[in-house]
Structure 1
Amino acid sequence: MSDIAVMAEHVRDLDPESIASLTAPELACILDDLAEQKASLARIEDKVRSALDLKYGARARQRRAEEGKDTGIVRLEDNGFIVIADLPKRVKWDQEKLKHAAEIIRSGWGDDPSDYLKVKLEVSEAAFANWPRPVRELFIPARTVETGRPVYRIETPNEVEAA
């Protein structure tokens, strides 16, 4: 593919029909270029985020402490600009301990745990596929299959042989 020089930049102003008329090697080249650009931008973004944390992290932590909070948004002034520093809260719940709490609410307190807990029932698709037919048929009315956005890859014959 080194002799093909179609880059993502070349298709910026083309409509989808024009891009669809390109050859598979040209499309593969564009996809490779896009992947490289995404990876490069991700590395740059990581560096900039680290730099922002180096520059503003200590001040943001101090401001949060002054405001009596561990997470959330604080605003800092820097040369006439307002820097908004957000430290999002990510809460994780131990499922076994929640089940234990729900049992205490149900049997010990006589309350309905659904007043306190959200319960989402899910079925593993791999498990569903392996269930006996009568069990699958019981669950089929509750099952909806939707599709995501199509994804395409183009591999060279050498890549296919290696795989």
Structure 2
Amino acid sequence: MNDLSIFPADIAEMSIAQLASLPTQQLYEVDTNIDKAITWLKGARTKVDAALEQRFGQQGREALHDTARDFGTAHFNVDGVHVKYELPKKVTWDQKKLKAIAERIVASGDAVESYIDVKLAIPEVRYTNWPPSLQQQFADARTVDAGKATFELSLDEGGV
């Protein structure tokens, strides 16, 4: 690698074309350093979020409880700092029970779509294991788009 170091502020100011034209070893270094920074930032974010929960979580829950709510947003001040505490409602549904309910709705003659959002999906692994005759029946309903490409750079033996 050459002696030029690229700092985060430099990367932010560079165009995509400028980044793409960096020497390969330098682009590798930038990519590796960004991955390390992301890993570090995720760990730091997790730790700070846990500290915020430890410091303000009980106050936030009490503020919600004081307004007869289990979920939602509460605001309070601590030592001159405004804290916005949000505790969203997270709902999950038992899929087997929903399926049984949906079958009862259909059996009674009602349209299940009036009560339940239904999204049909076929796992690609299952689809590719079907016989061609079955795949053909579903082909018109299937759209294949490219996902986001990923790149992993590594140094060749003896590189750098």
TM-score, structure 2 as length reference = 0.85
Quote how far apart the aligned CAs of 1:105 are. Answer: 2.5
Identity %: 29
CA RMSD of aligned residues (A): 2.1
- Paired letter, 1:88: P
CA contact (8 A) 1:64 1:70 kept: yes
Aligned to 1:92: 92
- Aligned AA (1:98): L
Partner of 2:103: 103
In structure 2, what is the equivalent of residue 51 of structure 1? Answer: 51
Letter in 1 for 2:137: L
Amino acid at match of 2:77: E
User: Aligned pair 1:67/2:67, yes or no?
Assistant: yes
Q: 1:155 offset after TM fit, Å?
A: 1.7
Structure 1: unaligned runs, 5 residues or longer: 159-163
Instruction: State the 1:36 CA deviation.
Output: 0.9
Residues 114-153 of structure 1: per-residue CA shift (max 9 Å, x gap) = 2111111001111111211121111111111122332211
Alignment-derived partner of residue 161 in structure 1: none
For normalisation by structure 1, the TM-score amounts to: 0.83
Note if contact 1:4-1:25 (Cα within 8 Å) is conserved in structure 2: no
**Matched pairs, number:** 156
Q: C-alpha displacement at 1:7, in angstroms?
A: 4.3
Are 1:28 and 1:155, in contact at CA under 8 Å, matched by a contact in 2?
Answer: yes
SS in 1 for 2:13: coil
Shift in Å at residue 6 of structure 1?
A: 4.1
Match of 2:41 in 1: 41
- Give the distance between the partners of 2:137 and 2:112, measured in 1 at CA: 26
CA distance in 2, matches of 1:101, 1:52: 41
Question: In structure 2, what residue type is equivalent to 1:128?
Answer: Y
CA contact (8 A) 1:4 1:29 kept: no
1:8–1:146 distance in 2 versus 1, CA, 3 Å? farther
Note the C-alpha offset of 1:46: 1.5
Between stretches 79-88 and 90-99, larger displacement belongs to 79-88
| 2:113 is the alignment partner of 1:114 | yes
Q: Cα distance, 1:76 vs. partner?
A: 1.2
1:18 counterpart residue number: 18
Q: CA deviation at 1:38?
A: 0.8
State the distance in 2 between where 1:125 and 1:89 align: 32
Supply the distance in 2 between the matched residues of 1:93 and 1:4 (Cα, whole angstroms): 57
